[in-house]
Structure 1
Amino acid sequence: MRVAIVGAGIGGLALAHGLSGAGLDVRVYERDPSPRHRRQGYRIHISPVGEEALAAVLPSAVRRRVIETATHPGDLVSGFDRQLRPTFEQTFPGGGPETVSAVDRYAFRRALMTGLDARLEFGRPFESYRALDDGVELRFADGTTETADLLVGADGVGSRIRGQLLPSYEVIDIGIRCVYGKIPLTDELRGLVPPAFLRGFSFVSDGPGGVGAAFAPVLFRTPPEEYGDYLMAVLTGSPEALGHSDEQLFSMRPEQLWETVTAKTADWHPTVRRLIAAADQSAAFPITLRSSLHIEPWTTGRVTLLGDAIHPMTPAAGAGANTALWDAAELTRALTGSAGLHDALAAYEHAMIENSQPIVTESLQNARQMFGVTAPSV
C-alpha cells in the first residue's frame, strides 16, 4: 500500500516512521522549500502521551536522536503579575535522563527527519485531490500529480485537504495573537533570569483584557549547530490590547514586532524589561490562535486527517503536539493491523475523534482563563 502524507510537521513525520517501519510505501510532501523555513513556535511540551506515541512509532536510532536533542526536563508551572509577584505555582515530578518532556521545535523536527530523506519531498505545495476507483490522485501547485492508495492530511490548521474533504468544518479565531521570540541565554543573563523561569513554563499577566507574556527555557542536552540555550518569550493579547490590527501586525518586520513587545512591557518589572531587551529581535514572528469546536464524523474513504488538520486547539492545554503524536501512533496501529483499509480507517477516525474532542474542550476552557477570551463553548 502506498500512503501519501501531506505535511512534514510533527504528526506527519511520526506517521511516516510508523508506516515505513511496517513496510508500507510512504511519501511525505511538504510545501516549505526546506526544513529551516517553517516558523510555528520554538518550545514544545511533550507529555507522557507524546512519549508513549514516539516510542511506538520511532526506530531506535531516531528515538535516540530525539532524546539526545531534547531539552532538560522541567518541574514547574508558575504565574506572576507584571511586577513578578507570584500568583500561582504547581510542581510536578521531574523526569529522568531519558525523559523527553520538552523539545525545541526545529531540533525535534530535524531529529524526526532522520532516515526519511528518500521519503521526504520539500517544495511541493499541495493543491487538491481527486478520488480514483482504486486510490487518490494528488495535484500540486506546479501542476504535477502523484497517486496513492491513501492520502493523509497532516497539513496543519489551514489544511487544504480538510477544506476539500470537510468544506463546512468550523475553525474559529479565539481573538488572541502571539508574538514569539527568543532570548539567548548568555552566562550573564542566566544570573538575571528568575529561577522559576528556568524550571518550566511561567506566565506573566497584565490582568484581564491586557497582555501577557509566557517564558519557558530551552536548555539542550545536545544543541543544534545553529544556536544554543535560550529562553522562549511569547507576548499574548488581543489586537486591541497589542495596539495593532492584523493587517499591521502580520506585515511588520521582526524588529518592529519586538518593538511592540518592548513597548507593551515598558512598565513591567525591571528584570522582565532586561530580558526583553536581550532578545534576538530577528527571531520574532506573530501567529493567530485558532481552535476547532465540534469534531463531527465523516464518511470514511481514502482520505483521512491527523493533528491540527482535524482538531486544531489553543496552546492553553499544552496538548496539540502530543495529540498529533497520539494520532500518528493510532493510525499506524490501525493501518498495520489485520483489518482491511476501510475498516482500519473507520476505527482510527472514531478513536481519534473520541480522544481529541475532550482535549479541544479543555484547551478552550483554559484559554478563557489564561487569556480572558470569550470563545464559544464546545
Structure 2
Amino acid sequence: MIIIFKENAPEKELGALREEIKSLGLEIHESVGEKTRLWGLVGDTSRVDMDWLSARQIVDEVKRVQEPYKKANRKFHPKDTVVDIHGKKIGGGHFQVIAGPCSIESEEQMNSVAKSVAKSGAGFLRGGAFKPRTSPYAFQGLHNEGLKLLLEAKKACGLPVVTELMSVQHIDLFQNVDVIQIGARNMQNFELLKEVGKLKTPVLLKRGLANTLEELLMSAEYIMAGGNENVILCERGIRTFETSTRNTLDLSAIPMLKSKTHLPVIVDPSHACGIRWMVEPMALAAVAAGADGLMIEVHNDPEKALCDGPQSLTPEMFEQLMGKVQSMVQFMKNLSA
C-alpha cells in the first residue's frame, strides 16, 4: 500500500499517523521528493482500511500495490537508487564497468589483468575465487588463496573488487570484498540471500538461467528485507531453445526492470553470449537499452584460461571496447538531455 501526502503536510500530523500505522505491525518506507512525499507500507496491509487513511486531511491519495515485492518496487521509491562503493556510483545516471577474469588463477595473471583494466577505464575489478561449475571435474577456483590474490590486486590497481559468494559458510572470508556477487545458480538460494541481507556490503544479484523478472525482484526483496538495500541487478542471459549462443541475452529486461524497480541494472554480455566477438555488439546494445553498467570478462591469455576462455576479451580488445562504450554512454546522455 502507498500513501501519497498533500504538499506541506504538517510534521505533527505525519508523526501521529506514523505511530498509528506502526502499531498495526507495519513498516514504513518513506520517499521524499521536491513536491511529493509518499509512504510505502510493508507488511500485511489487508487489515488497513483505505477509507480510514483517505479521510485524513494530510492524505492526497491511497493506492494498493499488487506486486509481491515492496522495497524493490519503483512505486515505493520513484527515484533511482544510486549505489555508492567507495566513491564509485552505479545507477541514477552513473555508469560503471566491472572487468576482470572469470577465475583467479595466479598472482601474475591477476595483477596483470587488474592493471590493464584499470588503465582502460574500468571502475571495478572482478575475479572468481569460488567458481560454480557444471562439471565436478572442472576448475573450481583457488578459494581462500584466490581471495587473497584478488585483494592484493586491489591494492595494486586501486579498484574496488567484485567476487562471487557461493555459501553461507564463506561469509566471514568476504569482509574486505567491496561488492558481493550472488551468481545465477544461487539467485534463489534464499538462506544465502537472507545472510547477505544482514550485511552492509553491496550485493550484485544475477538473474537465474530460467527465472522471470518478478522472481529476480523477489530475490532482491529477500536481501532488502534483511536491511541491505544496496542491491545491483544483473541480466546475464537466460536459457532458451537457441543453441548458437551460450545463453540468450534478454535486452528487453533492461527497460522492463527500470520500469518496475529503482535498483540499478547492469548487463553481463560475456556470460550471455559465451562468444568473444559478440561481447562488443551486445555491450553497446545494452548501453543503448539503458543499462547502468557492464560486467566484462578479461583475461591476459584467453587461450590458456582455466575457465570461460572463449568469451574472455584480451586487454587490448577491452581497451578498444571501453573507447566505444564511453562514446555510447555519452551519446545516450546527450540524447536524453
Same fold? TM cut 0.5: no
Q: TM-score, normalised by structure 2?
A: 0.27
Q: TM-score, normalised by structure 1?
A: 0.25
Q: Which has the higher contact order (CA 8 A, sep 6+)?
A: 1
